[in-house]
Amino acid sequence: MKAEDEGQLGVSCRMDFPPIAVGYQKALGLLMLACALFILGVAFLTGKLFPQAITGGILLAVSFGYLTQPALVISPGVVETKNLFGITLKTHRFASLRDLVLDDKGLQVAGERVKLTRWILSGGDLARLAQAIQSDRA
């Protein structure tokens, strides 16, 4: 892809940025991890593995997803929403970073709202995304 592409309005824009990954809140992942370890510990200490061990195992897998997987990946020309296993759920296309709007309600890509819950996303990653959008508009 060229370093300078034409946007929707014919204005030159930067499309050579590295992919931006927006992850989940690490505190939520750590809290889930602590709960999963507690549940598994109690299940093994009491000897009652069913259903506690299954619940703890599922919570352990979910907590690893929260700690390691991104919720959004913004690459040149595309925004991908991902699940906790890293599988792309939906793809949104855009012409330039100017087509992205990050507000209190979430993210819009070319006028289409991306379905996500903002409070579970990493604030630092969202700030980095907002800075990239702002620098493209400048």
Its pTM stands at 0.80
Residue 92's contacts (CB-CB under 8 Å, 6 or more residues apart) are 78, 79, 80, 81, 109, 110, 112, 114
Mean pLDDT value across residues 102-123: 91
Q: Which residues, in sequence order, are bridge partners of residue 14?
A: 4
Mean pLDDT value across residues 14-26: 88
Q: Give the containing element (helix H, strand E) for 80.
A: strand 78-82
- Give pLDDT tens digits for 25-59: 999 999 999 999 999 999 999 998 889 999 999 99
